[in-house]
Structure 1
Amino acid sequence: MAPTELDPVLLDPTRLSIVSLLAGVEWAEFAWVRESVGASASALSKQVTTLGNHGYVEVEKGYVGKRPRTWLNLSQAGRAALESHVVALQGILETSRQAAEARQDNA
């Protein structure tokens, strides 16, 4: 992916929210991510599977006492994808800003 291209995986708002949230933490519990992004467990699970298939998210399963838990972590590939996506978004904003300034200068 070229640095100025939007990542198609991250165009989905829920997936973008997940990787953005995980960028600020290490190994977040599934339930916390679900609550933070406002998704149902099944919707989050589907999006995490997609992100995992692209190598963006790591998933660990285990137990706290006798209760099963799932933890999520943003992989290095996920961090790189998010950073590139943000750069592409900033490029779009800059192009828009320049076009608006040019339009004002010609008015």
Structure 2
Amino acid sequence: MSVPQFDAVIHAPGRLQICAILSAAEEAEFATIREAIAVSDSVLSKHLKQLEDAGYIKLRKQAAAGRQRTWAAFTPQGRRAFAAHVAELTRLAGMVEPTRLGEGFSG
């Protein structure tokens, strides 16, 4: 795993969800990702394009059942970047000390 590093490309909620899906699979089909993160085709396309431009994913198009289908998969660089981002989020979350509800407030 890489040194923990916050990654602004991955951090956007939609892209973070896409990366989480791809981390658990070799590849995922466009419609499956779209339904899992509940976004429109255009929003998902933009997120995938940003991840692809960063070199984090590769897209594969294939005709199936008379229509074009798009599949997304992590590149090795993308898998490392996601792992480092998750490690950094975990490190940051560990820095926060929980407080008791209402502590420090007077009413």
Q: Which consecutive residues of structure 1, in runs of 5 or more, have no partner in the other structure?
A: 101-107
The structure richer in helix per residue is 1
Partner of 1:31: 31
Q: Does 1:21 align with 2:21?
A: yes
Shift of 1:5: 3.1
Q: How many residues align?
A: 98
Question: 2:93 & 2:27 partners in 1: Cα distance?
Answer: 32
Partner of 2:103: none
Shift of 1:94: 1.5
Shift of 1:20: 0.6
SS in 2 for 1:63: strand
Percent pairwise identity: 34
Partner of 1:71: 71
- Per-residue CA shift, 1:21-80, capped at 9, x if unaligned? 111112211000100111100000000000000111110011013211111111111110
Q: Which consecutive residues of structure 2, in runs of 5 or more, have no partner in the other structure?
A: 100-107
RMSD: 1.7
Look up the equivalent residue of 1:81 and give its one-letter code. A
Look up the equivalent residue of 2:65 and give its one-letter code. G
Look up the equivalent residue of 1:91 and give its one-letter code. R
TM-score normalised per structure 2: 0.84
TM-score normalised per structure 1: 0.84
User: Which stretches of structure 1, 4 residues or longer, exceed 4 Å deviation after superposition?
Assistant: none
